[in-house]
Structure 1
């Protein structure tokens, strides 16, 4: 496994098992070896795999949110938080299977320090992760983990403990490129309302149409598994659902055409969240919205909080 100082991003991660080919399911942005524009922030230069977002979300507010959404002002302009765009510092560990990084946030940030540990299990094809959050001031912040999977390795089937309730993004996630009907509720991930066509089945990839979409599944009661049918492996994500109750899906299916995306980013974000989509820093939904209570984690100085997650891989039985 490779843990990067930039954003504490985890990728590549290669799982092995006797008698099976190596399995590397985490996405690495296709421009990772290319120079990209100076206007791109640190996150974009290193985009890959899984990273923590504290606070989670965008800092630009869509202008066309539905009636009843109120405006909020983020404390800085770093999308997904300052820590996602800057280098972390290594921490030495006594365990040869564990890597650890920490970052101290600027004095103006409500978070004082983040620490991330990643442990490769020596007895299993699994990686255990912990994100330790120390608050500088009392605050409630949207928080997410950001596991992002590659979709360029053949067929992928997404297995969920339950399909709904779910909600589509309140506006087109990428104007002109989003496929899902905005601001809709659904009960099944294999029948999500779309624009100008039949419902979308977002349990199977690759999709028949390119698009850029966001949606949120509420109150999952178990882990999520992506079965890579042509690779012969499955990857399971488990996490502390008492802290991050929902799962946001980022379907980045060659939908963004501007550089450096250039219509070539093919990935699926499966993101445990306590947030209103990625909008919690810039907007709040009306009180009767299903996500109105997803304001974030309540953080207190002197009372650190730790979010645990786990990525594990299993060889699949032969597929037809």
Structure 2
């Protein structure tokens, strides 16, 4: 049975697969209960258990150690790197495997051991109520010295009508569009930069405004905001609340946005996946360990893309998801 927490301000569960947050519901000051996080539409359908690990019950929020995947999509020459460490499963071993999960008084806890040949020995994770939301902790226990891309992966629910959600990313540095030539439709020009989400370079010329979602046309976009402030807000005026993500920007200096706007047609997506991934990270997008741990265009611009982990020295961070009234 999945462990859950219920308190005056809300409820949350922690599923064993991926240690993903499940069913987070938070109360606003006026007593309304809102559900800020997303659950994939197939997650509870018959046949979902046959999907690859991370997709099987995709929901909520989870840690990614290491972050990313070995992306098969073509990359520009300047993103090509020499042979590096193989990445392994998409978004890391722990995102695809079953954790040990339990309730410890007023918090939920989880841990997982990595394979013996992995540079990471184990992860631990906790979830506890805090004012207006929940606070998560993540601890990485390295087996040996290594440099890895790391992220946490909240996925927020979007309203259905186009343009009804407003993104407030806070202060940030240069914005980069994803360099890969993705097979999914994307309105953005690959491997480009901008200073504002409102004026991202368009694939067919002009600019694209990503401050209001969903977009009218089906698409999939990945965007990296460098030097992010550590606070992101998503306004949902139709339901009268703001979802807020706070994190330590010294641990995760960048923020990747995954705008999943019904753009993936193959199963299990089937043109029905509508959500916003808001992913604090130290990584070169989601391009995997080989690229993130080596010299790449982001590092040459001064942006760190991997965390240096030391054997015997646990690495820890904490972050918070909450809601506020509009």
Check conservation: 1:69, 1:284, Cα contact below 8 A. no
Question: What does 1:42-57 correspond to in 2, within 5 Å?
Answer: 42-57=53-68
Give the structure 2 partner of residue 254 of structure 1.
262
How far is 1:18 from its partner?
Answer: 4.5
How far is 1:153 from its partner?
Answer: 5.3
Question: What does 1:55-134 correspond to in 2, within 5 Å?
Answer: 55-67=66-78, 69-75=80-86, 77-93=88-104, 95-96=105-106, 98-121=107-130, 124-134=131-141
User: Alpha carbons of 1:11 and 1:91: their partners in 2 closer, same or farther (altered >3 Å)?
Assistant: closer
Query: What is the aligned-residue RMSD (CA, Å)?
Result: 2.1
User: Alpha carbons of 1:152 and 1:74: their partners in 2 closer, same or farther (altered >3 Å)?
Assistant: farther
Cα shift readout 1:1-27 (whole Å, capped 9, x = no counterpart): 121111010132101135343110101
Give the structure 2 partner of residue 169 of structure 1.
178
Check conservation: 2:125, 2:137, Cα contact below 8 A. yes
Q: Give the distance between the partners of 2:270 and 2:82, measured in 1 at CA.
A: 31
Check conservation: 1:66, 1:170, Cα contact below 8 A. no
Cα shift readout 1:169-200 (whole Å, capped 9, x = no counterpart): 1123x325111100101011111011125311
Are positions 1:191 and 2:199 aligned together?
yes
TM-score of the superposition, structure 2-length normalised? 0.89
How far is 1:281 from its partner?
Answer: 1.7
Cα shift readout 1:25-57 (whole Å, capped 9, x = no counterpart): 101000012234777311100111110000001
Cα shift readout 1:86-139 (whole Å, capped 9, x = no counterpart): 11002452x32x100000111011111100000012xx3210010011001110
Q: Give the distance between the partners of 1:67 and 1:197, measured in 2 at CA.
A: 22
Give the structure 2 partner of residue 243 of structure 1.
251
User: Alpha carbons of 1:38 and 1:232: their partners in 2 closer, same or farther (altered >3 Å)?
Assistant: closer
Q: Give the distance between the partners of 2:103 and 2:34, measured in 1 at CA.
A: 28
How far is 1:280 from its partner?
Answer: 3.5
Give the structure 2 partner of residue 209 of structure 1.
217
Higher helix fraction (1 or 2):
2
Give unpaired runs (5+ residues) of structure 2. 1-11
Question: What does 1:21-32 correspond to in 2, within 5 Å?
Answer: 21-32=32-43
TM-score of the superposition, structure 1-length normalised? 0.91
The 10-residue stretch of structure 1 (22-31 or 291-300) with the greater mean CA deviation from structure 2: 291-300
For 2:284, what is the secondary structure of its paired residue? Answer: coil
Give the structure 2 partner of residue 309 of structure 1.
319
For 2:55, what is the secondary structure of its paired residue? Answer: helix
Give the structure 1 partner of residue 3 of structure 2.
none
Give unpaired runs (5+ residues) of structure 1. none
